[in-house]
Structure 1
Amino acid sequence: MNNADEILENAVAAHRAGDAVTAVSLYRQVLAISPDNGDALRNLATLLATSGELEEAADLYHSALLLDPHDLAVLTNMGHILRALGKTDEACSLYNRVLEIAPDQSEIRIALADIHLLEGKAEIAAEHYKEAIERGTSHSRIHANLAAALHSLDRLTEALEQSEIAVRLDVENADALNIMGRVKSGQNKFEEAVSAFQGAIHLRPDWYPPRLDLGITWQKLGKLPEALEALEQAWMLNPNDLETGKAMVSVMIALGQTEEAEDLLNTLDKIFPENSELPFHRAINDRSMGKLEESVDLFRLAIERGLDAPEAHNNLAVSLFDLRRLDETFAAANKAIALDPDFPSAYNTLGNWASEVGELAKAKNYYLKANELEPDFAAAISNAAYVTRLQGSLDESIQLYKTALDIDPQLAEAWSGLGLTYQQNNRFTEALAAFDEGLKGHPDNWELLNNKAISYQATGHIDEALATYKSALDSKPDNPEIYYNLGNLLLTLKRIDEAIEMFNAALRLRPDYNAVFSYLAHALMQQCNWVNLEAAIERIEQNIAEEVKSGKTISTSPFSMLSLPVPAQYRLLSSRQLAAQTAMELEHQRKSIKFQYKPKGEKLKIGYVSPDFRRHSLGLTFLDLLMAHDNDSFEFYGYAMFSNDPDEVTNQFGKVFDHFRDLTPCSHEDSARVINEDGINILVDLAGYTKGSRLQIFSLLPAPVQVHYLGYGHTLGADFIPWLITDHDVIPEDIAAHCSEKLIYLPDSFLATSRHEISQVKQSRADFGLPENAFVLANFNGLYKIDPKAFAVWMRFMRKTPDAILWLSAGTVGGENNLRKEAEARGVQPDRIIFAKNIPHTSHLARLQLADIALDAYYHSGGVTTTDAIWAGLPILTVAGPTPSAQTGVSVLKAARLPELITYSLDEYEKQLHHLAGNREELAKIRSRMTSTRDEVPLFDSQRLARHLELGYNMMWEQYEAGLEPKGFDIPAISQV
């Protein structure tokens, strides 16, 4: 035995005895004598590896392999050392050499798989794990790791099977439970995932991954407080972990804890100053706080730092869209698609862009593409439903919303959209049910509350509407739309000061909310609050001009424009826009429903459609006209829609019409079918753009001839109502050029009137607080019709006429007080204005006879109030003002044969007032003539008006039967009936 052999023998003995220090020294002596001694190389490498001297151990194993390249133990041990040194490629190479020599070395195969799994090479890892199992190695860890590999490959069914095997083999394998939770979360089995994560946490309370995964899963379930709690626990176990921090930021943003999110982002920024994802998350947080410009800059910073991912570009597109920077939105979303052509969120963003620019068909295609790429993308399906509703395909829209809700029953926007779609088709019961379902999961969702309030309001449930609007404001106090809607409701309830407060709040939040200004102006007029009225009207006129110039939809309604001195072409354009929107609501039905029209029978069937067949100014006057109609030659159908309960006047209509239908609960489509099945020849709209109108029914063309008359009295701009019945004074030639309809001119006033009973109970001025010897000026219109210019004329007259008293209809306390202040400011004692309370109509007509003269305002003359005055024998002085609403007085007075009471300028108006006041005998003669001729003048001849209308109906029908395009005409005057 040579010296090296003796030393090796002693080294092995020391090694076996556990004397590592002596053994190492002796092995080194052996190698100094014999560098190629394989035993010394292997044993010394083993001892050095055990003591952590891995680099030298690896070198020794390498030398040993040069002596015997097929030594499995050396290959295995060196592979383990290289893996520990992070030299995974070299380790894998050695493991593969082991498996080439001994394929059944399953533990080496598992080690190789573990490396591939950690390096993200899940496909290779899975194959190795499977082969190890097939070769007989089966324990909990290998099945858990195989599940992890399959999960990362999105092979969730296989992953779940392997995780379940792992748990069966070892119920205390926390890794197996954690991967099971991840798999179930990937399968959207979130409750089961939570249970698995909680099991892993129970087994390993100090292990942070399942707490991180649990927090993320709670967030997916919408349980945000629980999510934040789990993530905070993960953060405590692994402080400053980037993934946990990002998840916490996401939950904080969802909880509205934007300041806390910002603080955490600041902390993470200090730890990871150049991280590309942190600007991305900060951008999301800024966007949630409304800092849109800042979010754009941060998304761009994230991209510059290397986050050149579709998520970053798409979120940049979303912020740009919120800023309505539409060209940039389009470019950013397309960049996301260029990076990943199958990225569904980018197509959803492009859908939003296309919807905003009015390309609804393109928008729908983008949304459906997003859904094709991600079948469970409920938000994209909901968005497709939204544009489908805008296209007028309501049934399809409803089905799409229901599909979205099948996927995500908690999607508030889908419940809201579903309710709005029902609402759009007059299906308010179903709308309310949809909003209620959405509110079960989102009791504070302002959109659901706001839309529910609208449905309540439309169905006359006013208390419920008020309460629901207030709940919406509690939920979203910075939303201008809710203030606007609540203001409109308060306006209809005559709670004017509150309405003004709501409108002003809306404008403070959104100064360019143009639609508000016309309602604010109307509210100010209701209160005779003229301090800011002129500025409001000027802003309305400015808005209209700018909207027309830029090609935008006019925000001021056609109805509001009737009392504003705006160009007639603007009124027509606004009417056309509103009519087009009305038709678009049922566009699909318009294309798919082709009604067949029944031929005329023995009688021409006339259908009247109105929400006002009740105690209403139109209802009361139209009832007399209806009773005057020729039922021998015509058959009359009434189609009613009510927002309030029917009343005794409704009952009278039910008796006078040949047929009376209540369409209130019917959808627009069903209503049109009822009308068509009734075989109506001529369908007459009596509402136009007034409250309760349902022009959607007319847009479906249920009757061959459709015409507007009476209730609105001006152009509707609708191609589906080609005729308008009017008179030459209400729509003179210059205004006729700005009407979309062919005009049918009645020879007298277009207004229907009633010969109401006048109380014979003796009344005195003293009964109403009027001085016995005063010269009493009267105006019994709503106070909102009084304007500063007319009021200034009245006050100048009163200053010059000391015995003059102004007698007005009672209004709100605020309106009355403001008029008193305006009078005082013009040098007239406030107590010279006396306000008359409401009394029964027969008594009111008798009361009118106590006045000396009634006065119309400048911008808005009276209608029924004017005919009431004339019927009672009270002269009324009118002025043809600059608005359509100011022409009615001219029409009425001509039909009453009282041309001397018509003036055509404020100067003439004022002079005539002084003239009549100074010539009381002349005024008395006018009164006497009014009383003696009222039964003879055309104004109160309902039979004459009925015959003229019937003649017009026949002339329209003749055009239709001859296949002619609609043409306007004058109805020839007949002899007084």
Structure 2
Amino acid sequence: MTSPEPCAAPIADAAPDEPGEFSALMASGVAAHGAGDRVKALVAFESARTLAPDNAHAVSACATLLFELSRPSAAFKLLLGVEKLLLADPDGATNLAIAASACGQWPLARAYFEHALTLDADHAPALTQLGLMAAREGRWADAIGHATGCLSLAPANQDAWIYLADFLMGAQRHTDALAHLHKALHHFPEHPQIAMRRAVALALAADFEAADQALAALNPEATTVLQHFLHGGTAAQSAHAPAIEPDARVLFSRQAFDAMEECDWRDQERLTAALREQIATERFPGQGRDLRLALLFGLALPLSEDEMTQAVQATWTALARPLEKPQPPFSGKRSLRRDEHIHIGISAHSLRDLTATAALTAQLACHDHARFVFHVYSPTPQPQEVLAEPLLPHQVVEIAHFTDEEAVRRIRLDPLDLWMDLGFGTPSWRPGIAQRRVAPVQLQQLSWQRRLPRGPYDYNLSDTFIHPDAEDFVGQCAAQVRLPHTCWLAAYGQTPAAPALTRKDAGLPAGALVLCALVPPLRIDPQTFKTWMALLLALPDAVLWLPAYTPAAQANLARVAQGAGVAARQLVFAGGATGCDTLALMPLGDLFLDPLRFNANQSLTDALQMGLPAISCAGNSMASRLGGSILRAAGLPQCVVQDHASYSATVVALGRDRSQLADLRRRLQEAKATAPLFDLQARVKELEAAWTFMAGRARAGRPPEAFDVPGSRR
């Protein structure tokens, strides 16, 4: 529960024996800081530091302000200038360690913390920070040991009780956590942080009835603390954040979702059961429940298509509740239109993500601007001009600071024919905007549902592989649109980093069979990882190449691998890399492994672009069939298998016959000249044909209709 966020050192007054002018400046800075004027405080402290460049008080004060102004690197650089002075006492060493951790230099931070403990074995701040660091890395026994030590040193310290409770819950020692919290409430009755955590601990232990009772009994202050906790420690819920109900199953699910991001699957069965209870319509008839997080994380869980459909329907119902300030219904009239262009509104998912912005720029460059006009809506607060500039001359409007209602009013000012939502699965996804309708035609790019319930989105974009039977549920579901090759648009805006890397550079064994799985942690589910471990046992000279996950995720995967009998050397985690660096790394692999339940998609496309062949297993859901759609469009239909047994058998056969792997790589390279996946211009034309059909029906006053898009070639 507690994240190991670095914190700035407290600001100290000048020592009594320091010069008068220096002391006056320090006092002025302390007063300005107390009044909330950080800039004035920083100016005063910098002036004091000019008088005494080596004064640790002035340097620490300046560093503290730099931390608070979100400049941790500058703060750390400043502290390093007086490193010897700071290392002379445990407080100084701890401040250095906190600064190092803020800059991601975790080994150095640990060394500084341990140095502080050599100076004072009972130094509580260093013990606390080491505990937080251990928790970040999933070393719960160490975290609990440090927190226990802090509590024994300062039993009257409320934070010490809270840290130990958080670490016990993180270790899933829920019985111990509840006993500990019971003692804490005896010492600090009605303490809001502790009372809230007791309710959360009951929920995490899956004692939902007792947890709901504890939640209902929270006083207003504890309820406020709970909402603060649920929204990631932010001071206030953002205007468009998903509504979070203080419900025991919701609390349990959110913590389990966080664990999935760390590849911690110990609660998967209980999570699936809890979601099924939340999804069941009889629990909230006619009311709905905002389950948008379940719509994403559920893709990696063993939930049926019907259950996921119910989750979508519940979310649409929740988002359709009456607004506090009702708006006029969407009319769809375009009386102010002065041109015959088709106006496309695009809800981007980020304009600070270089990869996403470059891909959108590459796509827009391929469109026919004589026929289409694009309006890009940015969910990124104050999008950086350097990233937004490539999207010009298309209109770019920031809507991050708007509530859903305000965003709807702004977007309705534009003469849109079609609204295309690219945000699903990202923090910027705002289906509440689509629910209130901003265009005659609304399309969610990649809904992940084979049967998308009719709601704010009129059409479900798919292709002939994902939906081979062309099924359409008129009146019940969004109309199915089948593209001829693949619904995944492989738009590339980046080029690989140069020079090319070697296996030695990447930390890969030179002669090993490298099975590449450079995918986000959420894409790996227990069944997929179990299958991959069986492959490593069958191919002892192989390694599984994974991204630079967090230390906690790496520890969780290593634990599961060890339990499966896989040698530690067979798991290789890549170092930190940018998007371009990752592209450059891809050719070093021998075979890309597509996850079974929630396909890799972008990572898979990156691998194919860089000439790395892949294997995918076509499941029954859209999330598990998109990989097959991508591979077939890349000219490798033989790399798409129909069941898990064939997936494993194919990988083992290829691993034992490197000549087959070389042949696949050659075929992929030859296919790049003609395969549909790599012909972005043609795929864009197909998308334009789909938009034109949809907009035409809407202008004629006709309802959405399922249709197939004919193939296009340049």
| Residue 515 (structure 1) aligned with residue 250 (structure 2) | yes
Cα contact 1:776–1:851 (8 A) shared by 2: yes
CA 1:775–1:521: 2 relative to 1, 3 Å: same
TM-score where L is the length of structure 1: 0.46
CA distance in 2, matches of 1:611, 1:478: 36
CA distance in 1, matches of 2:344, 2:281: 42
| Residue 752 (structure 1) aligned with residue 489 (structure 2) | yes
Alpha-carbon offset, residue 477 of structure 1: 5.1
Give the structure 1 partner of residue 649 of structure 2. Answer: 911
Give the structure 2 partner of residue 727 of structure 1. Answer: 463
CA 1:963–1:572: 2 relative to 1, 3 Å: same
CA distance in 2, matches of 1:483, 1:877: 47
1:445-482 C-alpha deviation (Å, 9 max, x unpaired):
xxxxxxxxxxxxxxxxxxxxxxxxxx973685555477
In structure 2, give the amino acid aligned to 1:513. A
Alpha-carbon offset, residue 893 of structure 1: 0.8
CA 1:554–1:903: 2 relative to 1, 3 Å: farther
Give the structure 2 partner of residue 879 of structure 1. Answer: 617
> Could you say what secondary structure the match of 1:743 adopts?
strand
Alpha-carbon offset, residue 868 of structure 1: 0.6
Alpha-carbon offset, residue 516 of structure 1: 3.1
Cα contact 2:192–2:225 (8 A) shared by 1: no
In structure 1, give the amino acid aligned to 2:497. S
| Residue 890 (structure 1) aligned with residue 628 (structure 2) | yes
Q: Pick from 500, 517, 534: which aligns with 2:269?
A: 534
Alignment of 1:504-653 (within 5 A): 513-541=248-276, 543-545=278-280, 547=282, 553=288, 556=291, 557-586=294-323, 589-591=326-328, 594=331, 596-598=333-335, 599=337, 601-615=339-353, 618-642=356-380, 644-647=381-384, 650-653=387-390
Alpha-carbon offset, residue 779 of structure 1: 0.4
Give the structure 2 partner of residue 473 of structure 1. Answer: 193
Alpha-carbon offset, residue 684 of structure 1: 1.9
Give the structure 1 partner of residue 440 of structure 2. Answer: 704
Q: Any gaps of 5 or more consecutive residues in structure 2?
A: 1-190, 201-222, 235-244
Give the structure 1 partner of residue 524 of structure 2. Answer: 786
Alpha-carbon offset, residue 885 of structure 1: 2.3
| Residue 818 (structure 1) aligned with residue 556 (structure 2) | yes
1:376-402 C-alpha deviation (Å, 9 max, x unpaired):
xxxxxxxxxxxxxxxxxxxxxxxxxxx
CA 1:933–1:647: 2 relative to 1, 3 Å: farther
In structure 2, give the amino acid aligned to 1:846. A
Cα contact 2:349–2:429 (8 A) shared by 1: yes
Q: Pick from 919, 943, 946: which aligns with 2:681?
A: 943
CA 1:909–1:536: 2 relative to 1, 3 Å: same
> Could you say what secondary structure the match of 2:704 adopts?
coil
In structure 2, give the amino acid aligned to 1:537. T
Cα contact 1:777–1:855 (8 A) shared by 2: yes
Q: Any gaps of 5 or more consecutive residues in structure 1?
A: 1-470, 493-509
Give the structure 1 partner of residue 708 of structure 2. Answer: 970
CA distance in 2, matches of 1:866, 1:974: 23
Alpha-carbon offset, residue 829 of structure 1: 1.1
In structure 2, give the amino acid aligned to 1:968. A
CA distance in 2, matches of 1:483, 1:565: 33
Alpha-carbon offset, residue 694 of structure 1: 2.8
CA 1:605–1:526: 2 relative to 1, 3 Å: closer
Alpha-carbon offset, residue 704 of structure 1: 2.2
Of Structure 1 and Structure 2, which has the larger fraction of its residues in helix? 1
Tell me whether 482-491 or 619-628 shows the greater mean CA deviation. 482-491
Cα contact 2:290–2:314 (8 A) shared by 1: no
CA distance in 2, matches of 1:934, 1:705: 34
> Could you say what secondary structure the match of 2:392 adopts?
helix
In structure 1, give the amino acid aligned to 2:427. K
CA 1:535–1:575: 2 relative to 1, 3 Å: closer
CA-based RMSD of the aligned residues comes to 3.2
1:187-235 C-alpha deviation (Å, 9 max, x unpaired):
xxxxxxxxxxxxxxxxxxxxxxxxxxxxxxxxxxxxxxxxxxxxxxxxx
Structure number with the bigger relative contact order (C-alpha 8 A, sep ≥ 6) is: 2
Tell me whether 851-860 or 535-544 shows the greater mean CA deviation. 535-544
Give the structure 2 partner of residue 774 of structure 1. Answer: 512
Alpha-carbon offset, residue 913 of structure 1: 0.6
TM-score where L is the length of structure 2: 0.62
Q: How many residues align?
A: 487
CA 1:590–1:736: 2 relative to 1, 3 Å: farther
Cα contact 2:590–2:612 (8 A) shared by 1: yes
Give the structure 1 partner of residue 669 of structure 2. Answer: 931
Q: Pick from 646, 657, 663: which aligns with 2:399?
A: 663
CA distance in 1, matches of 2:275, 2:470: 23
CA distance in 2, matches of 1:616, 1:585: 38
CA distance in 2, matches of 1:688, 1:740: 18
Cα contact 1:687–1:710 (8 A) shared by 2: no
1:618-650 C-alpha deviation (Å, 9 max, x unpaired):
4443332111111111111112222x4423663
Cα contact 2:361–2:391 (8 A) shared by 1: no
In structure 1, give the amino acid aligned to 2:305. A
Give the structure 2 partner of residue 846 of structure 1. Answer: 584
In structure 2, give the amino acid aligned to 1:528. C
Structure of greater Rg: 1
CA distance in 2, matches of 1:491, 1:939: 42
Cα contact 2:548–2:576 (8 A) shared by 1: yes
1:531-554 C-alpha deviation (Å, 9 max, x unpaired):
333333344335535856978746
CA 1:736–1:869: 2 relative to 1, 3 Å: farther
Cα contact 2:332–2:440 (8 A) shared by 1: no
Give the structure 1 partner of residue 134 of structure 2. Answer: none
1:561-601 C-alpha deviation (Å, 9 max, x unpaired):
33333232222222122122223253863556646323572
In structure 2, give the amino acid aligned to 1:822. V
In structure 2, give the amino acid aligned to 1:581. A
CA 1:514–1:964: 2 relative to 1, 3 Å: same
CA 1:708–1:535: 2 relative to 1, 3 Å: closer
Give the structure 1 partner of residue 427 of structure 2. Answer: 691
CA distance in 2, matches of 1:593, 1:724: 21
Cα contact 1:855–1:877 (8 A) shared by 2: yes
CA 1:884–1:520: 2 relative to 1, 3 Å: farther
> Could you say what secondary structure the match of 1:881 adopts?
coil
Cα contact 1:515–1:555 (8 A) shared by 2: no
1:814-863 C-alpha deviation (Å, 9 max, x unpaired):
21112112112111111221100222333321211111111122221102
CA distance in 2, matches of 1:586, 1:611: 25
CA distance in 1, matches of 2:300, 2:197: 32
In structure 1, give the amino acid aligned to 2:304. P
> Could you say what secondary structure the match of 2:320 adopts?
helix
Alignment of 1:199-598 (within 5 A): 473=193, 478=198, 480=200, 489-490=231-232, 513-541=248-276, 543-545=278-280, 547=282, 553=288, 556=291, 557-586=294-323, 589-591=326-328, 594=331, 596-598=333-335
> Could you say what secondary structure the match of 1:868 adopts?
helix
1:285-319 C-alpha deviation (Å, 9 max, x unpaired):
xxxxxxxxxxxxxxxxxxxxxxxxxxxxxxxxxxx
Alpha-carbon offset, residue 607 of structure 1: 1.4
Cα contact 1:863–1:889 (8 A) shared by 2: yes
Alpha-carbon offset, residue 952 of structure 1: 0.9
Alpha-carbon offset, residue 972 of structure 1: 0.9
Alpha-carbon offset, residue 970 of structure 1: 0.8
CA distance in 2, matches of 1:656, 1:678: 16
CA distance in 1, matches of 2:636, 2:228: 44
Alpha-carbon offset, residue 955 of structure 1: 0.8
